[in-house]
């Protein structure tokens, strides 16, 4: 055993991990609540998805290239249920029932894409005037940047915005993640707004947890392809640019597995995390987790919804 691991074990015996986690979670909630009050946002205690729920089926709208292949009948099914889009989804014509965006520090070289995002939200502000907006990952960044990020969104959307109180799974192995899920389930923490919403590896996992907490019985992943890094807005870039909607520039090569399902970027891939969540929590509750199309890397681990 290395000296570093020995010191870590001694530290955990003196102060168990759950104690330090509880302290950090409480601090993050206080920060998010304070920013919400200061900027006049919606309460962090609410669940905007539950508030707009009108169906037992939730479609989670990712940005994968398969979105461009959905038929009109499939879009009718999506529009007849509830849907949530995230990140650069506002490029698409369909306005979801809830929009989720994640905040992070803008890495060097990505300033242009961040400006494209700000311009996109300005261009779609009127279309999203009645759409709740949830900002996740606020606990990860400095308060000053969180406030600036919100202020950079159109002021007309300010009353729509709520900060999500969420927390990253500390576990990167299956036994640890299973233990955490079972503990949270035992104490009802997966369902209560008095506890943070758990996230792992990708926004998709977070939104499945959001759908679980909102009470959906069927959750369908659309455009969560994972077998490449292609995006629907790159496929129809000229069409969206003609509508005045900026399109971000590609960051990763299009011929590789998406980074959220690439073990080279982290041991707990999105597919592994979803498989654990499905087995341990969703299936025992009778909740169906599906992919829209068989072209997703998650098929056949997850059944398809549209039969193709």
At 12, give phi and psi (nearest 5°): -70, -30
In a domain, 144, yes or no: yes
In a domain, 55, yes or no: yes
The CA radius of gyration of the chain, in Å to the nearest whole number, is: 19
Residue 6: predicted pLDDT: 54
The two three-digit tokens of residue 94, written as one number? 């369909």
In a domain, 53, yes or no: yes
The two three-digit tokens of residue 163, written as one number? 């900060």
Q: Which residues contact 286 (CB under 8 A, 6 or more apart)?
A: 217
Residue 79: predicted pLDDT: 98
Q: How many domains does the chain have?
A: 1
In Å, how far are 29, 68, 181, 197, 213 from 171, measured between CA atoms?
21, 35, 10, 15, 21
Residue 45: predicted pLDDT: 82
Proportion of the chain above pLDDT 70, given as a percent: 91
Range of the domain at 258: 3-291
Average pLDDT, the chain: 91
Q: Kindly indicate the confidence band of residue 3, based on its pLDDT and cuts at 50, 70 and 90.
A: low
Residue 20: predicted pLDDT: 74
Report yes or no: 84 and 61 within 8 Å, Cβ to Cβ.
yes
Instruction: Provide mean pLDDT across the span 91-107.
Output: 93
pLDDT at 4 over 70: no
In a domain, 303, yes or no: no
Instruction: Provide mean pLDDT across the span 213-239.
Output: 94
How many whole angstroms separate alpha carbon 243 and alpha carbon 245? 6
pLDDT at 187 over 80: yes
The neighbouring-strand residues paired with 167 are: 198
In a domain, 281, yes or no: yes
- The reported pTM is 0.91
Residue 227: predicted pLDDT: 84
In a domain, 304, yes or no: no
Residue 9: predicted pLDDT: 57
The conformational region for residue 107 under phi > 0 = left, psi -120 to 50 = alpha, else beta, is beta
Instruction: Provide mean pLDDT across the span 283-289.
Output: 98
How many whole angstroms separate alpha carbon 272 and alpha carbon 253? 23
In a domain, 146, yes or no: yes
In a domain, 301, yes or no: no
pLDDT at 121 over 90: yes
How many whole angstroms separate alpha carbon 89 and alpha carbon 99? 8
For residue 25, how many other CB atoms are within 10 A of its CB?
16
Residue 15: predicted pLDDT: 54
């Amino acid at each position: 055993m290395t000296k570093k691991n020995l010191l870590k074990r001694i530290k955990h015996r003196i102060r168990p991990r759950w104690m330090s986690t509880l302290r950090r979670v409480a601090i993050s909630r206080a920060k998010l609540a304070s920013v919400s009050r200061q900027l006049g946002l919606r309460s962090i205690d609410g669940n905007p998805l539950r508030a707009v729920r009108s169906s037992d089926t939730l479609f989670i709208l990712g940005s994968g290239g398969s979105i461009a292949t959905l038929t009109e009948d499939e879009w009718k099914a999506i529009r007849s249920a509830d849907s949530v889009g995230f990140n650069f989804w506002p490029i698409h014509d369909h306005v979801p029932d809830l929009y989720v965006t994640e905040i992070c520090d803008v890495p060097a070289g990505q300033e242009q894409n961040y400006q494209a995002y700000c311009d996109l939200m300005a261009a779609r502000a009127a279309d999203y005037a009645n759409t709740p907006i949830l900002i996740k990952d606020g606990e990860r960044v400095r308060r000053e940047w969180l406030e600036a990020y919100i202020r950079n969104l159109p002021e007309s959307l300010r009353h729509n915005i709520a900060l999500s109180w969420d927390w990253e799974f500390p576990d990167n192995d299956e036994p640890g993640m299973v233990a955490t899920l079972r503990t949270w389930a035992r104490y009802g923490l997966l369902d209560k707004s008095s506890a943070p919403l758990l996230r792992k590896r990708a926004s998709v996992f977070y939104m499945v947890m959001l759908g679980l907490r909102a009470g959906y019985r069927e959750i369908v992943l659309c455009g969560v392809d994972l077998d490449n890094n292609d995006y629907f807005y790159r496929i129809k870039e000229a069409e969206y640019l003609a509508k005045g909607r900026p399109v971000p520039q590609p960051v990763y090569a299009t011929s590789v597995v998406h980074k959220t399902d690439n073990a080279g970027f982290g041991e707990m891939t999105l597919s592994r995390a979803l498989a654990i969540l499905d087995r341990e929590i969703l299936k025992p509750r009778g909740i169906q987790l599906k992919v829209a199309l068989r072209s997703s890397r998650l098929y056949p681990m997850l059944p398809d919804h549209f039969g193709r």
